[in-house]
Structure formats: structure tokens, C-alpha cells
Structure 1
Amino acid sequence: MASSTRLAAILQAVMQGMPKALSDSHYPGWHLAPVTGLLNDPNGFIHFDGEYHLFYQWNALECAHQQKCWGHWRSADLLHWQHQPIALMPDEEYDRSGCYSGSAVEDNGVLTLIYTGNVKFDDGSRTAWQCLAQQNSAGGFDKLGPVIAVPEGYTGHVRDPKVWRHEDHWYMVLAAQNTQLQGRVLLLRSDNLREWQNLGEIAGSKLGGLDAAGYMWECPDMFTLGDSTYLIC
């Protein structure tokens, strides 16, 4: 499906699905759900400017893992949620096969998204870009383009950036697959969210005493509780 045709179909599906879903007695009242299509990977959860924002992977056209957009909910109390316009759609060359999971952060007072742009080629190969988008004055998001290419020594299975601020730097854990088809997690650092230094692998299959632990790791998260730091994938 051509890009313009696909995007028009996505918007039409949402507009047609919204009133039907919200008036359906079986539509979830307590659990967040899209109005049509497939949901996976809630991501970009953030409290910003007095409200909570939660984004999610969404294919509005069908129950298949294709054409992923970023859906968007907003809430003042974590109980009552409002559907927002689609935050990200696969409408650029660098994310044409889907806007995959990522993070939301506040950067100089601006709600900023860091996500994976997925690109699949006709020969079955693929690549990925880690990309930025920032909220504009109308509440939508303007794409700023890729900031990280696939690092040397890794396949196109690089995705799901989790980003946080610590002291004077931004940090990112990034899921990856090396060219030996082993799952890895990379740690990166930046001063400005745009230029990133790869600090190397911090975990993965056959690292740190692990046996073979998967050909691909996804959706990493790293955080501190008490005196300990945890990595979850």
C-alpha cells in the first residue's frame, strides 16, 4: 500500500472506529484499549505539565504487526483517560515500516519522543533508526528525524530506546542483535538527545555468565531501587 493511501486508510479507520467503540457496551471501561485494530507495547509513559501521557503501539487497520503508529492517551488522574490524535505515523522514509517503541522525556520544557523507525526492504532485509519528535503548540508532534543509525557489528534488529536523565547527561538503553544473532543491550550517553556516544554492551546472550538467552532482546528498561540498579528486558 502506498504511503499516502495507507495513511489515509489509517485516519479513516480511526474516525469510523471511534464513535462505534466508545458507544459499545463491551468496550473496556477500566482497561485502556484502542478504538480499532491492534494494540501492543505501551510506551512513553510520562507526567508532563500536570498531566499523564501514555503512548502505545497501534495498528489501526488490522490485527497484525504492521503499519505501527503511536497512539496517545492523556489523563489528569490515571483513572479517566482521553483519546488523543495519533502521535506518530509511519510517513517518512526512515520509519516507513512502522514507528516502533521508545520513550517520552521532557527536554527544555518540551515533550519529546524517542522512537525506533523501522524500515523493511523487498529482499527481506531491514534497518532501523532511532528518531526524535517534539510536541508542537497545537499538541501534535513534529518529527526531527534520525539521531542514531544501526551501530557497526549489529543487524537491523535494533530498537526500543529507553531514555532518562541522570545528573548532566541523557542515557539510553537500546535493544539489539549482533551479527552473530545474539541478543544484546547497549548503553548510550548524550548531552543533547541528538548526538549519542555508544558506551558498549551491558548485558546479553552469552555475556556476564548467561548461557544462550535469545537471538534478540527487546524493550529494555534500567532503573534504580534503593542501592541496586535493575535491567529488565
Structure 2
Amino acid sequence: MNRLQKANEYIQNNKMKTTNRPYFHFSPEIGWMNDPNGFSFHKGKYHLFYQYYPYDIVWNDMHWGHASTEDFITWEYLPVALANDKAYDANGCFSGSAIEKDGKLYLMYTAHIDPNLGFDKDESQIFERQAIAVSEDGVNFKKYELNPVIGEKQLPDGYLICDFRDPKVMEVDGVYYCVLSVRNKERRGEIIMFKSNDLLEWHFHSSIYQSKFEENTLLECPDLFSINGRDVLLFSEMPCDPIYQQEKQNTTSYVIGKMDFEQGVFTAEHKGLLDHGQTFYAPQSTEGKNSERLLIGWMHRWHQTMPPKEYGFNGMMSIPRELLIKNNQLIQSAFIDHEAHFTAMFSRDAIKLQNETVEISGEGIGYLTLSVPRGSNTFTVELNKDDEKSTKITVDAQNNSISYNSDYGNQGLITIHDAFKSDINKIELYIDLHSIELFINGGEKVATFTAYYQNKGKNISLSSNDNIELKNVRFKAFRG
């Protein structure tokens, strides 16, 4: 039995054992999941591939899981697309992307070699090269017989093959380009670009973005796309070496600028943080059905407590976000159909708070929105609430500050401040079994939080020690 057959049979025979999966955030049928891969719209459906290890809830030999959807709520789980079954990818099929060409779906991924599988790292034994797999039907993939297509021969001097991964492929005016993450010989992160006429034969084109030496940063999972004539480069940032783990968090950033593909030059104009929480990483975008730019990311807090083993799964994706540019800033709004999947449970045009608590709902799972009038005082939204515990989101409208503190998951106090171009005027919260996604001012800022704590409370309430009136308070429960 080959590795693909083994993985698919294991999933079918064991997937019924998983429990406590989220309601409207994508999760694997069973096992471990991380980075979204190959996010694409192909033949009328959105396809999501993902880093996958079906046999346990911890990271190990990376496969590519695969699912498709039309609404991002109802998913069809498809057979595992890739397994590490070749000499060049023996220790993992790492992250990559998908692109359609001549009606076929091409996957480009990082073929990973590390005989120690990262647990006793020896960089001299680690090789990351780029490989291709092709499908006629979008489900069954065949690896290209001349893989890998980008390796030592194509990688210029000055870069380390041990950290060379995450290809994101795009087509511009009939030419294919690929951005890749790489570590340079100064041991810092850089994003480089390759060029091809046929997706199979690639040549180094240029270096388009470099982290500063003093930032002590490695860049991962680059993505490059255009919105209304502006170019956007995404990448995830992590410590370049273990000694910097205490000073550098894993985050995801965006840079708005201008990409000259012919010359291979990216001119950066504005950098921002894509998510202000601590549980959003390795996002990938695609052009949607109606030419929207859609984004989905992995919701995971580094070094957090894992889910209980009896859950049988580990990993969730964010809800998809539509991206726009406004006032030189990336705006993210939830791309989800409220009317089809959420039912109105609470609706008040105004709620006055003064040293009191108002109960909104006992449903727990759903969508909460409210408006904050100009000049408002401080108030707190409590989620996952029972008699003793809750998740508190405190909004200090006068000082344009929002803080998050939860009794679940030991995340500690997280504060968002000095980051708003305008007063805080609107709060939106998507609340699922293990996650909260917070959208501020229609997506001017977003923050994502996760906790796999069992038996959270279900009540939702508003409270304030000041005199305040909130407007347009609405709660919709998720109904599937």
C-alpha cells in the first residue's frame, strides 16, 4: 500500500472518533493541520489544501490535505492530494500554492529533506527544493517526473538551501512568477522571485524584499497579488534563530507597494500588521469567483496548550476575509453569508449601561456586532461566560484601545492601541467553539484568538462602570 492509500484509508476508518470540532471554522477530519496551501478557485469551487498529518494531533511528516467548498461553511473532504513518497520529499511535502493552466490544476510545493525531522536540527542535512504535481480532475495528482524544478542549480550563491520554501505562483501577462521564502547567509529572511514560461523550467529573477539584520527575523509563506492597481506582499515573520524567541513573536505582515515584474523590483510604500492577535499565521490568498481577493489563515497560537488528545484533531482555519485597500491600509472584512447561516437572536437599537451588566445571549456560538458612539467611555464584552470564567474584551473608546483577556487558554492580556486611523466606532465578533475573530471599524484592524479549553461557558453580556449607550447591538446564532 502506498502512502496516499494508507493516509486515506486511515482517515476513513478513524474520522468518526474526532469530537469538539468547530462549527463554522474549517478543521481537519482527523489529525494535525497547519498552513493553508493551494487556496484557489477552480472549476466553480474553492479548493483548500493544507499541511496535514492525519495520524496524530502533533506535527510530523507533512502531507497535503484537500477539501472544497462553495460557501466556506459546508466542505467536501477530498482524498489526500500529496504524501511524502519520493526520495526528494521523503520528510515532508511542505507548503506551496496552486494555479490553473490549460484546464489542469498545478501544485507547487516544497520538497523537504531532513533525516532528523527537525528534532535534532543539523542544517547540513536539510534540503528544501520546489516540486510540481499536476491534476486533470483537480483531485488526483501526479508528481512531475523531473522534480524538483527549483533546487541548488537555480538558487544563487548567498542563500541557504536548508530554509528555502513556500512557493506562491502567479501568472502575469502570460509569464509565470513564483515568490519564495529563503534564509540568506546572514541568517536573516528574504523573499526572492523566480520566472518561468511553462511552470516546469524556472530561472532566478530577483530578490524583492529583505528583512533588516537587526530585526532578527525569518520570513515565511510569501504571497504577492494586486488590488485595484496596488501590489500587496504578505509574509509571516518568526525568530530567525531560537535565541530570539523571547523577543520576536510569530506574526503576519503586509506591505503595500509597486511590483515591476519585468525588472523584478518591488518598491515598498507602507507596512502593516495583518492580525493583532497571537493566533493567525501563514495566510494565503486567491482571486475569488467574482474577482475578489480572498484570504484564509491558520489559527494557531505558538507554544500553546494543545487540544485534549481525545478531540482527535488539532488546527483550524480562519473564516475567509475579503481584502481591500483604503487610505493606504489593508482592510479585511469577513467573507461569509450571514443570512444563510446565522439566525437573529437579539436586536436592540440602543443599550444604556451604567454600573450594570446586560445579558445578550446564552447561545455562545455566532456573530455579535455593535456600534460605539463618538466620545463613549469604557465597556466590556464578555464571551464564553459562566459563573466563574469568561473571555473579556474591553473597549476604551476615549483612548482608542482594546484589550483581550481570557480565563481560558492562559494567553494573558493582549492590548491593541495606537493603531487606529479613526475613533473606534464598530465592533464585530465571530465566536466559535475554540476561537474568536474580532473585526474593528469594518476591518480596519483584526485580531484572532484561540483556546481549546473544554466546557467553556455560553453566555454573552455587556457591562460598564461608566455611563455609556451602545447602538445597533445585534447577535445572530450560528445555525449551519
Q: TM-score range by the shorter chain?
A: 0.7 to 0.9
For each residue in 1:133-162, what CA deviation from the matched residue of structure 2 results, as whole angstroms up to 9, or x when unmatched?
A: 011459311111211004133221100001
Listed as ranges, the gaps of 5+ residues in structure 2 are 236-480
Structure 1 residues 81-139: Cα deviation after superposition (integer angstroms, max 9, x where no partner): 11110000011111111111111110111011010010013582200110100114593
**Where does residue 178 of structure 2 map in the other structure?**
172
Asked if 1:192 is matched to 2:201, the reply is no
Q: Which has the higher contact order (CA 8 A, sep 6+)?
A: 2
Q: Answer with 1 or 2: which has the greater Rg.
A: 2
8 Å Cα contact 1:17-1:35 kept in structure 2: no
Residue 82 of structure 1: aligned partner: 76
- 2:449 maps to what in 1? none
Query: What is the aligned partner in structure 1 of residue 210 from structure 2?
Result: 204
State the one-letter code of the partner of 2:188: Q
Once the two structures are TM-superposed, the CA of residue 66 in structure 1 deviates from its matched residue by: 1.9
Q: How does 1:40-55 map to 2 (within 5 A)?
A: 40-55=34-49
> For the structure 1 residues 166 and 138, does the alpha-carbon distance in structure 2 shift closer, same or farther, using more than 3 Å as the test?
closer
Partner of 2:399: none
Question: Shift in Å at residue 51 of structure 1?
Answer: 1.3
Does the 8 Å contact 2:103/2:136 carry over to 1?
A: no
Indicate if the aligned counterparts of 1:39 and 1:59 stay in contact, CA closer than 8 A. yes
Which of 3, 6, 17 matches 2:14? 17
Decide whether the 8 Å contact of 2:66 with 2:78 is kept in 1: yes
Supply the distance in 2 between the matched residues of 1:229 and 1:133 (Cα, whole angstroms). Answer: 28
Aligned match of 1:139: 139
Runs of 4+ in structure 1 off by over 4 angstroms are: 4-9
1:204 offset after TM fit, Å?
1.4
1:109 matched to 2:103? The reply is: yes
Report percent identity of matched pairs: 34
**Higher strand fraction: Structure 1 or Structure 2?**
2
**In structure 1, C-alpha distance between the alignment counterparts of 2:67 and 2:4, rounded to whole Å:** 20
* 1:128 counterpart residue number: 128
Separation of aligned partners in 1, 2:91 and 2:229: 41
Give the RMSD, CA atoms, in angstroms.
2.1
Shift of the alpha carbon at 1:52?
Answer: 1.2
Tell me if structure 1 keeps the 8 A contact 2:34–2:50. Answer: yes
Look up the match of 2:409: none
Secondary structure at 1:13 match in 2: helix
Alpha-carbon contact 2:189-2:218 (below 8 Å) kept: yes
Aligned to 1:186, the other structure's residue is in SS state: strand
2:33 aligned residue: 39
Provide closer, same or farther for how the CA distance between residues 213 and 82 of structure 1 changes in structure 2, counting only shifts above 3 A. same
Over 3 Å counting, the alpha-carbon distance change for 1:8 and 1:161 in structure 2 is: same
Corresponding position of 2:188: 182
Q: Which moved more, 1:222-231 or 1:191-200?
A: 222-231
Q: Which deviations, in whole Å up to 9, do the C-alpha atoms of 1:38-78 show, x marking residues without a partner? A: 11001211111111110000111223332000000011333
One-letter amino acid of the counterpart of residue 98, structure 2: A
2 CA distance for matches of 1:91 and 1:42?
A: 21
| Kept in 2: contact 1:114–1:133 (CA 8 A) | yes
Shift of 1:79: 2.6
Identify if the C-alpha distance between structure 1 residues 137 and 168 changes in structure 2 by more than 3 Å, giving closer, same or farther.
Answer: closer
Q: In structure 2, what is the Cα distance between the partners aligned to 1:17 and 1:35?
A: 9
Higher mean alpha-carbon deviation, 96-105 vs 148-157, is at 148-157
Which residue is equivalent to 1:154?
159
Unaligned runs of 5+ in 1: none
